[in-house]
Structure 1
Amino acid sequence: MRAVVVTGASAGIGEQFARQLAVAGHHLVLVARRLDRLEALGSELQERHNIQVVCIACDLAKPSAAEELVAALAEKQVEVTGLINNAGFGDRGFVEALSLQRQLDMIQVNVTSLVDLTWRLLPGLKKVANSFIINVASTAAFQAGPNMAVYYASKAFVLSFSEALHEELKGDGVAVSALCPGATDSEFASEANMTETMLFKAGTMSAEDVVRKALAARRRAIVIPGLKNLLLVWMGKLSPRMITRRLAGILQA
């Protein structure tokens, strides 16, 4: 089976990637910790769009997760045609106030497992015409983030890694894109303890719109969905870093 792998597919942006790829006729491998949600979504998509869906329960906070996931794909004879590295999480609070293990898990999921899975799947992707990788970063990638230091730093890594990979793989036919959404209507805000912050109270973009723009522009190195988000990123580029990091801290207070 030729399929697109979507991590963090049980809700939010990941679920929307699954839904919109299914509409386009792609077979799917859905990956997340919550197998019950994946199976419910997979059954719906198979019935509605006449596609094949494989669901794999996987906790990408485990150092061995990417290796085990790739082994499962090989066992199920899946030829990967696209990879959506969407799994990730954040948490609000000062570095010293948050659990060390939670912050290390954040780096493992947002950074290490993303690189690990990408590296393991790249040889196969290079053999497939029009293959692609979308790494979900964030507008947080463009500045430091007091009160969410590790999350912002992890997304800066994803952005830089994706841009470099975009250039490296141009000649191999693999499109690599960094998706950089701003505040989005998903489970992320509640998981990260951010629902009452100024950032999310100022308004959110729907996950459906974010994904629609991501898929339409997946051959661009950086995709920033939404005019407001684009303007905020460019304003940040023109402002001194001292100002942008203080503003980020205020938005997450």
Structure 2
Amino acid sequence: MTTTSLITGASSGLGTEYARQLARRGDHLVLVARDSGRLEALVALLQRAGAEDVEVLSADLSSMDGITTVTDRLMDTARPVDTLINSAGFGLPLAFEKNDIEDEVRHLRLHDEVPMRLMHAVLPGMLARRSGAILTISSVSAVTPRSTYAASKAWLVMFSRWANSYYGPRGVTVTAVCPGYTHTEFHERLGLAKGEEGIPDWLWLDAPRVVEESLRDVSRGRAVSVPSKRYKAIYNAARFAPTGLMAKLAARGR
């Protein structure tokens, strides 16, 4: 049977790479983003690569109307979703006190409230079928003190660890994917040109590798996926390092 995968934030970054790799796997795709033009361009690209079954949902997940559009699709029992990938997100400058508070609220909502609502919508059907997978893009910064971005990502890791242990025996895996710095459009959207991020070359990962490793970890039933050996080492060390030291190190990148 064909697997149906719904991907938020599909029009850019890791969301686009998940769409590429899952299309090659033969999944039926439900692509969610607010930019309908970019979504249609992605659909055309996937179809040229051989994808035959792609559905588009244009939805702004910063609004309740957009969230409802997606939760309604996830709860459609006639068209069940087998894999949910929460990839929508954006970054803000580190100086919390200078950021617009409404931007911070929108940031928190998109990173935590939206995945929570989508998971809550999709879980009953998955549990009834005793089959399903949920992936949420967290970050290795979940274990490094780094303003509100790291705080929001830490929630995703903790929830996934609990949910995977609770729902795993019932057939549903829940995985937080914790990549390090990855070549996508994320930093460009922060207004940073390539080379301005303050990160050495050896710390950068490529999106295809992140997605490939995370999908392999999902198949193994892991609650947390940290792609690459270098970031596994950083992730494990950061969990036990002094907070002040890690905050100074984390502040070097943008």
TM superposition score normalised by structure 1: 0.91
Q: Return closer, same or farther for 1:115/1:10 CA change in 2, 3 Å cut-off.
A: same
- Which stretches in structure 2 are left out of the alignment for 5+ residues? none
Q: Return closer, same or farther for 1:72/1:169 CA change in 2, 3 Å cut-off.
A: closer
Match in the other structure for 2:204? 204
For residue 248 of structure 2, what is the amino acid of its counterpart? Answer: R
1:115-174 Cα deviation digits (max 9, x unpaired) = 0111011111223354100011000101211xxx11111101111111111111012100
Match in the other structure for 1:246? 248
Contact 1:183 1:200 (C-alpha < 8 Å) held by counterparts: no
Match in the other structure for 1:224? 226
Partners of 2:117 and 2:204 in 1: CA distance? 31
Offset at 1:191? 1.7
Contact 2:31 2:57 (C-alpha < 8 Å) held by counterparts: yes
SS in 1 for 2:210: helix
| Superposed structure 1 runs of 4+ greater than 6 Å apart | none
State which of 145, 148, 151 in structure 1 corresponds to 2:149.
151
Partners of 1:67 and 1:200 in 2: CA distance? 41
Indicate the percent of aligned positions where both proteins have the same amino acid: 30
Q: Is residue 63 from structure 1 mapped to residue 64 from structure 2 by the alignment?
A: yes
1:1-253 to structure 2, matched below 5 A, reads 3-72=4-73, 77-128=78-129, 130-145=131-146, 149-193=147-191, 195=193, 196-199=196-199, 203-218=203-218, 219-252=221-254
Aligned length: 249
TM superposition score normalised by structure 2: 0.90
Partners of 1:194 and 1:237 in 2: CA distance? 28
Q: Return closer, same or farther for 1:66/1:22 CA change in 2, 3 Å cut-off.
A: same
1:8-47 Cα deviation digits (max 9, x unpaired) = 0001100000010011111010001111111222233245
Offset at 1:90? 1.1
Partners of 1:93 and 1:142 in 2: CA distance? 16
1:25-78 Cα deviation digits (max 9, x unpaired) = 110100011111112222332453343111111111113432221224567953
Q: Point out the more displaced range, 60-69 or 173-182.
A: 60-69
SS in 2 for 1:238: coil
Offset at 1:91? 1.1
